[in-house]
Structure 1
Amino acid sequence: MYGEAKAGAPTRHKSTLEKWSSDFRWQERVREREAEIAAAQLEAIKQTAPITGYAIYQKRIADLNQLAETLKAEVMDPNRRWTTDSHWEGGVNSGELVETHEFNAPLVTQYRGVLGDIAAEMGERKAAPEPPVPTSPVAAGLPAHMLAPSFLAPYRDIRAAGHTEYVFNGGRGSTKSSAVSMFGLELLLANPDMHWLAVRQFANTLRDSVYSQIQWAIGEMGLEDRFRQVRSPLEMEYLPTGQKIYFRGADEPKKIKSIKPPFGYIGILWLEELDQFKGEDAVRNIEQSAIRGGDLAYKFKTYNPPRSANNWVNKWVAVPDPQRLLHKSSYLDVPPEWLGRAFIDMAEHLKEVNPKAYEHEYLGEVNGTGGMVFENVVLEPITDEQIAQFDRPLQGMDWGWFPDPLHFAKMHYDAARMTLYIYGEYRANKTKNRQAFDDLISKGLLSLDHLLIADSASPKDIADFRSFGANIRGAEKGPDSVSYGMKWLQSLAKIVIDNERCPHTADEFMNYELERDKDGDFISAYPDKKNHSIDSTRYATNLHWRRGGE
């Protein structure tokens, strides 16, 4: 300012500055800018923040309001709105001390920021309130069209609390798992102190089964925005109440015992694929570990009945229990449009070529007595003339050294007749990959023009065979892949084995039985022993059963 004074510039007195302030409409401009900032912040919040992201706490709002009032008083105070300073204008002998006033921009900026905070929090709450917690979801009930007709009677019983244990068995496509996923959700919403535990025998099968099934039910019931769904670890939370849905495998029992809900208790238990659990005692231990506290609990058990009447679950369910409701269903009880034409065609085709397998798989019938896994094996010669007609040979390899052997299998699949012909095998112990490859070539077993599918657990062995010239790849695996492959083999009309050409294969297929529990009863588990030719066969047919057969 001293330089301006020397140049003849006018002196900026208080009256001049106040007139400039009025001309520039600073108060109106501050308010306009505040409104712009608040609107921008609110829009950003709407775009990025979830409904529950701006929970309003009374202390936070009170503090903000108090600070806003304090700043407002200071902004409106002329002695605070303008900062006072002074400087000397003029010459050394003829000058004078001039008082100046500068607009207090930092103070107004701070006030504007506080208003923005209040607008963001209170404005967001008004714009996007939390969804109300359902007070009586059971009263509304599930729409009838969401359940197959055969499940309406059990549904009414559940709503009336007629039983505490509900056992649903049946064949493929009976929608029993879909029904239970919706029953469980309704019970969860109706009982805000209950939590839900879903269990499979193997933890690695949870994500693609019960978790996905409950996820589907949440979507069907229009509850997506009320559930937080976490994949690692597998868990769901009902946001209005904080109720949890837990997922555990029976092969990790400590993780079941360690569940500690934040409040209430586990009052809903779902055991999916019940026949795969290790017997009645194992199931009872899970129930005792999971259900602790509370006056009421619901147990749901779903499964496809094992073929053998001697399986533990078939024996268990045959003993009446007054607290248990037993329900049986099949795809014939379901509206056809729910299943699709392809599903029904597959069922009808199996009915024609293998009625016994159809009755078991699709109708859920128990039509066996022992624990034999493959009742469709036929031992008969496969002639050279037949083999010459097999234009697309399937080849499988199960790696081994000792005592487990390396086993190669060669076969042909007649999809139209659902018949598998096994006509070539090679088995060796303590044999290096180079020697095994040379043996297979010299014996005319391995075809380099056709795909060889091997156990993918041994990538080094696969790499060796590929370097030797084999057209080889690893088998596609995943949760339940063993069970699915075995059931596909069981569903075939026939597995024809030439026991002269393939003595090891014939022996294993004819004598392979389900595992037994400690009481000697069969369980729905496949023993991992004396099954090298069976594994090779699963690998060879991997591309067929992985896509549902063809």
Structure 2
Amino acid sequence: MVLTYIPTGQQIRFKGVDKPKKVKSQKFRHGYTKFIHYEECDEFNGLVEIRSVNQSLNRGGDGIITFYSYNPPASQNNWVNQAVAQAGTRKDTMVHSSDYLTVPKRWLGKGFLADAEQLKKDNPVAYNHEYLGEITGTGAEVFTNLNLREITDREIANFDRNYPGLDFGFAHDPLVYLDMYYDATHRRLFIYNELYKVGLGNRAAVQAIKALNPDNELIIADSAEPRTVYEFHDAGLNIKGMAKGKGFVEYSTKWLQDLRTIVIDPIRCPNTAREFSGYELDRDQSGNLISRFPDRDNHSIDAARYAMQPMQIRGVK
């Protein structure tokens, strides 16, 4: 459907994006797209589809404004919730939340309001999600102690020690290096630097890590590949492999869960913020949670576990 303002020829075009390539063929006799609105954008299959459209429509002029409207899914792991968390760090983006309490009651009707109040009494979590738009979680989230915020240069300057961790990347898995600070008094972990890259050669990785760790502080890495640890050491890094024992994955992950707060800077460490906030337990065919921690999308989590091993051994909590 197209609405055309006849005096000027300006148009509002309504398009389905079941096939993004169809939208890429948009042509204009004059001018360019000024406003783009994605309605129910959580129903798209991810940012790849949206980027495909934007790369075509965001051409030809300045000041193009894009709106994304949606009802937040309950799971923080959902792609749109993670995308909005990232977008909120951009200076050219505004994130706005509204709910039924912000509009006149006459717009809604007595039946709608009565249903909302009843659900508020019967199931407060469902009410918070369905009527207030809160990301309430699905109950499968592993880390409920996250604080995603900017970690300022002033804060970092006051950190008296760095705890670097390294998870080696193999094949399609990324190499992940993290800089962290641990506040033992208040049981807070700060993650403020990341190197997260797929297909990074060892020589390039060493140079990149040296740039992030100029004082060559001790790096604790995965010991599964001792030859790689030796190679990094011979290249000048102060590094050692972490000694793994039976049950270490479960124990070290629960140690991170037990911290009062894990503060992650989503601007400096976007992939770490994404992995920690999106890490969830799997469910079986009946929908019941599986107690094992899944071994996927957890590369930054592994790097943090390795670096914090000395604290775990000492029993610091």
Q: Which residue of 1 aligns with 2:78?
A: none
- The answer to whether the aligner puts 1:493 opposite 2:266 as a matched pair is no
- How big is each residue's C-alpha offset from its partner over 1:185-239, in whole Å with a ceiling of 9 and x where there is no partner? xxxxxxxxxxxxxxxxxxxxxxxxxxxxxxxxxxxxxxxxxxxxxxxxxxxxxxx
Identity among equivalent pairs (%): 47
- The answer to whether the aligner puts 1:546 opposite 2:313 as a matched pair is yes
- How big is each residue's C-alpha offset from its partner over 1:426-461, in whole Å with a ceiling of 9 and x where there is no partner? 01111211111112223xx12444110000001011
Higher relative contact order (CA 8 A, sep 6+): 2
Q: Which residue of 2 aligns with 1:266?
A: none
Q: Which residue of 1 aligns with 2:276?
A: 509
Cα pair 2:210 2:237 within 8 Å, conserved: no
Query: Residue 246 of structure 2 is aligned with which of 479, 500, 508?
Result: 479
Distance (whole Å) between structure 2 residues aligned to residue 478 and residue 441 of structure 1:
29
What residue identity is the alignment partner of 2:315? G
- How big is each residue's C-alpha offset from its partner over 1:5-50, in whole Å with a ceiling of 9 and x where there is no partner? xxxxxxxxxxxxxxxxxxxxxxxxxxxxxxxxxxxxxxxxxxxxxx
- The answer to whether the aligner puts 1:391 opposite 2:146 as a matched pair is no
Q: Which residue of 1 aligns with 2:210?
A: 441
Aligned to 1:463, the other structure's residue is in SS state helix
Cα pair 1:508 1:534 within 8 Å, conserved: yes
Cα 1:447–1:548 change in 2 (3 A) is farther
Aligned to 1:410, the other structure's residue is in SS state strand
Q: Which has the larger radius of gyration?
A: 1
**Where in structure 2 are the equivalents of 1:33-48 lying within 5 Å?**
none
Q: Which residue of 2 aligns with 1:466?
A: 233
Q: Which residue of 1 aligns with 2:302?
A: 535
Q: Which has the higher helix share?
A: 1
- How big is each residue's C-alpha offset from its partner over 1:521-546, in whole Å with a ceiling of 9 and x where there is no partner? 11211111000000000011111112
**Where in structure 2 are the equivalents of 1:144-155 lying within 5 Å?**
none
Query: Residue 170 of structure 2 is aligned with which of 381, 401, 404?
Result: 401
Distance (whole Å) between structure 2 residues aligned to residue 484 and residue 547 of structure 1:
13
Q: Which residue of 2 aligns with 1:165?
A: none
Q: Which residue of 2 aligns with 1:163?
A: none
- The answer to whether the aligner puts 1:454 opposite 2:221 as a matched pair is yes
Distance (whole Å) between structure 2 residues aligned to residue 405 and residue 369 of structure 1:
28
**Where in structure 2 are the equivalents of 1:119-198 lying within 5 Å?**
none
**Where in structure 2 are the equivalents of 1:128-277 lying within 5 Å?**
none
Length-normalised TM-score, structure 2: 0.55
Distance (whole Å) between structure 2 residues aligned to residue 446 and residue 457 of structure 1:
23
Deviation at 1:370?
0.6
Cα pair 1:453 1:474 within 8 Å, conserved: yes
Structure 1: 4+ residue segments shifted above 3 A:
none
Distance (whole Å) between structure 2 residues aligned to residue 517 and residue 531 of structure 1:
20
Distance (whole Å) between structure 2 residues aligned to residue 399 and residue 405 of structure 1:
7
What residue identity is the alignment partner of 1:508? E
Q: Which residue of 2 aligns with 1:431?
A: 200
Aligned to 1:421, the other structure's residue is in SS state strand
Distance (whole Å) between structure 1 residues aligned to residue 231 and residue 218 of structure 2:
15
Distance (whole Å) between structure 1 residues aligned to residue 284 and residue 242 of structure 2:
30
Distance (whole Å) between structure 2 residues aligned to residue 416 and residue 391 of structure 1:
13
Distance (whole Å) between structure 2 residues aligned to residue 455 and residue 515 of structure 1:
24
